[in-house]
Amino acid sequence: MKTFKYMTLAAALLLPMAACDSFLDVNPQGVASTDDLNTVENIEKMVIAAYSALGNDNFSDGMHAYWPYGDLRAGDAYKGGAGTGDMGDFHLFETFVYLRDDNGYLDKKWYNEYVCIARTNDALSRINAMDATVFPLKTTREAEVRFLRAHFYFDLKILFKQMPWIDENDKTEDYINISNVEYTDKQLWDMIIAEFRFAAENLPEKQAEIGRINKSIAQAYLAKALLYAAYEQDEKNNVVNIDKTKLQEVVTLCQGLSGKYSLTSDFAENFLCETENGRESVFAVQFSTGDGTLYGRLDWGAMLNYPMNPEYGCCGFHSPSQNMVNAFQTDDNGLPLFDTYNNNDLKNAEDLLKYNIDPRLNHTVAIPGAPYKYNPEFIFEASWTRDPNTYGNFMSMKEVVLPDCPCFAFSLPFMSSSKNRDIIRYDDVLLWEAEALIELGRQNEALPIINSLRERAAKSTARLVDVQGDPTGKFKIATYQPGVNCPAWTQDFARKALRWERRLELSQEGSRFFDLVRWGIADKEVNSYFATEKTRRTYMGEAKFTKNKDEYFPIPKNQINFSKKLYKQNYGW
């Protein structure tokens, strides 16, 4: 009887619903059909959504920040955190030997890059369908979005080498038929270059809104893509040729940016909220706080990288390696200790005053006993690190901010900031130009470029003081003066100086590993690093870089399975 009553009641409740067609016919509010988006106003929003993908970052979900991919794998930093199992995928990146193609983090990274690409493709398909008379900014917006798409493909390229190229002309149902080896390594680079070239040729010199891509930004990224593509690789990732024509274009593009950008007077200005979007910043992810959203547009890629002291509280990741710290030492002439830098370990503030050092060390690395992030009263302590027995007592500083910074924000249990993250800075552009000149045999033209960075570093000490105003290091850095304080400026010596300069200038910014792969020396450099570092860090006991394999991540196994084995695995995996 209970069952019958309940069934009768249910039928009675349904009768009014069945009798009222309008109840079922009302469209849900807040849902738009795809055709509703094909207006100028909504297409502009789709373009903004494509930009937004740059900052859709999350430390646990295939983040865009480069430090796990470019620092950990190059010997510039240890993973950090609470032991090797904390964010264990990053531990596998750092030590290589047990990394496999079923790594879940790599699958997320691959997937998220294609989510970003999907945004650009959707925007482009709508832009292409609009008439320029209705949408006067059609070509400009197309160039912006193609630039963004090229950026996401660039990241896939340097991480995975071979990836499927999907653009706005491909139908969703056809994705399953697009292989990651449909195009060769060289062809993929050419396609990325073509995207940046289109952007450079069709964007205005200036944009009204900060953060929008302009012609100069596109020219800079075009130079970067050309530089990478110039180092041609075979199937086994060996560098087999350097394309001099591409290098010459790199030089021309970089020189064309002179006057549009310049070095800041103080290196520190590149890593402070109050000086972001300055004259040295070329292309940056624009973060924000207090913007009406729940947490603000914070840099989630840096959320793990704050110390474990009360002012912060989490999470102790991204710890500069002892090797990296030692590399900032200089000789009595103020030049790098190319061959002997690793014979002596810098460990604390006393060592910074005892040995000659490049000032950029104190801008880059938090060292026990030294001021943290330019605050003479905020002294970094060894206890601020999370697992010193495993990862030592250093932490990276470029990506973080002080706890009293207006751009600092909590998102418990984590914290971060709205400080921008530069993808391209002008110091990087200058180093590309110098590199190309050296490989073209024009090393004498590269000398003043490299020296300009060293001159700037020498002058960047005003913020590196203690509470008495005294320097926090025995700063000694000089320019290269061939025949005076260094050997003749041959191509080989210039190349060594250039590569060293890139390491110091861009330390902890995630570029080092990709440099090593581009130059074809990753196996030599990383295994040399392991040979010494294993005596310092026991967890590296089995760490090993395998040549012709570890230059790139494996194509994620899930992606190969989803493609029904159409995708081919990278060589060596």
**What's the pLDDT score for residue 312?**
95
Residue 70 has pLDDT above 50, yes or no: yes
pLDDT digits (tens, 9 = 90+) for 395-407: 999 999 999 999 9
Is-contact 235 181, C-beta < 8 A?
A: no
Q: Are residues 314 and 206 in the same domain?
A: no
Instruction: State the Cα–Cα distance between residues 353 and 472, nearest whole angstrom.
Output: 7
**What's the pLDDT score for residue 28?**
56
294 pLDDT tier (thresholds 50, 70, 90): confident
pLDDT digits (tens, 9 = 90+) for 189-224: 999 999 999 999 999 999 999 999 999 999 999 999
Q: Residue 4 domain-assigned?
A: no
Q: At residue 351, what are phi and psi to the nearest 5 degrees?
A: -65, -30
Q: How many CB atoms lie within 10 A of CB 289?
A: 18
**What's the pLDDT score for residue 32?**
60
Q: Are residues 361 and 502 in the same domain?
A: yes
Is-contact 49 37, C-beta < 8 A?
A: no
38 pLDDT tier (thresholds 50, 70, 90): confident
Q: Are residues 556 and 413 in the same domain?
A: no
Q: Are residues 382 and 500 in the same domain?
A: yes
Cα–Cα distance list, 127 to 123, 198, 411, 518, 529 (Å): 6, 15, 37, 35, 49
Q: What dihedral angle (degrees, nearest 10) is formed by the CA atoms of 502, 66, 303, 111?
A: 170
- Domain end marker among 510, 525, 540: 510
Domain at 557, CATH number:
1.25.40.390
Is-contact 344 329, C-beta < 8 A?
A: yes
Q: Are residues 310 and 444 in the same domain?
A: yes
Task: Tell me the mean pLDDT in the region 104-128.
Answer: 97
pLDDT digits (tens, 9 = 90+) for 537-572: 999 999 999 999 999 999 999 999 999 999 999 999
Task: Tell me the mean pLDDT in the region 245-263.
Answer: 98
Q: Residue 22 domain-assigned?
A: no
Q: Residue 252 domain-assigned?
A: no
Is-contact 549 525, C-beta < 8 A?
A: no
Q: Residue 27 domain-assigned?
A: no
Task: Tell me the mean pLDDT in the region 154-174.
Answer: 97
Q: Residue 476 domain-assigned?
A: yes
**What's the pLDDT score for residue 563?**
96
Instruction: State the Cα–Cα distance between residues 68 and 91, nearest whole angstrom.
Output: 9
pLDDT digits (tens, 9 = 90+) for 413-462: 899 999 999 999 999 999 999 999 999 999 999 999 999 999 999 999 99
Strands 356-357, 375-379: pairing is unpaired
**What's the pLDDT score for residue 31?**
59
DSSP for 216-234, written as a single string: HHHHHHHHHHHHHHHEEE-
Q: Residue 293 domain-assigned?
A: no
Q: Are residues 446 and 330 in the same domain?
A: yes
pLDDT digits (tens, 9 = 90+) for 222-235: 999 999 999 999 99
Q: Are residues 500 and 417 in the same domain?
A: yes
Q: Are residues 233 and 315 in the same domain?
A: no
42 pLDDT tier (thresholds 50, 70, 90): very high
The residue written with tokens 């997320």 in the block is: 108
Q: Are residues 304 and 234 in the same domain?
A: no
**Alpha helices by DSSP H, 257-407:** 322-326, 349-354, 360-364, 388-391
Helix or strand (DSSP H, E) at 366: strand 365-366
Q: Give the number of domains in the chain.
A: 2
Rounded to the nearest integer, the mean pLDDT of the chain is 93
**What's the pLDDT score for residue 546?**
98
Residue 467 has pLDDT above 80, yes or no: yes
Task: Tell me the mean pLDDT in the region 505-519.
Answer: 98
pLDDT digits (tens, 9 = 90+) for 88-100: 999 999 999 999 9
Full-prediction pTM beyond 0.85? yes
Instruction: State the Cα–Cα distance between residues 238 and 241, nearest whole angstrom.
Output: 9
Q: Are residues 487 and 439 in the same domain?
A: yes
Q: Would you tell me the crossing angle of helices 491-505 and 443-459 to the nearest 10 degrees?
A: 30
Strands 356-357, 474-475: pairing is parallel
What b-and-e string marks burial along 303-342, b requiring 16 or more CB atoms within 10 Å of the CB?
Answer: bbbbbbeeebbbbbbbbbbbbbbbbbbbbeebbbbeeebb
Q: Which residues contact 137 (CB under 8 A, 6 or more apart)?
A: none
In single-letter form, the type of residue at position 318 comes to H
pLDDT digits (tens, 9 = 90+) for 361-385: 999 999 999 999 999 999 999 999 9
Q: Residue 295 domain-assigned?
A: no
Task: Tell me the mean pLDDT in the region 497-519.
Answer: 98
DSSP secondary structure letter of residue 171: -
Q: Are residues 124 and 175 in the same domain?
A: yes
**What's the pLDDT score for residue 29?**
60
Q: Are residues 304 and 409 in the same domain?
A: yes
Residue 466 has pLDDT above 70, yes or no: yes
pLDDT digits (tens, 9 = 90+) for 50-63: 999 999 888 888 88
Structural domain range at position 225: 37-239+550-562
Q: Residue 328 domain-assigned?
A: yes
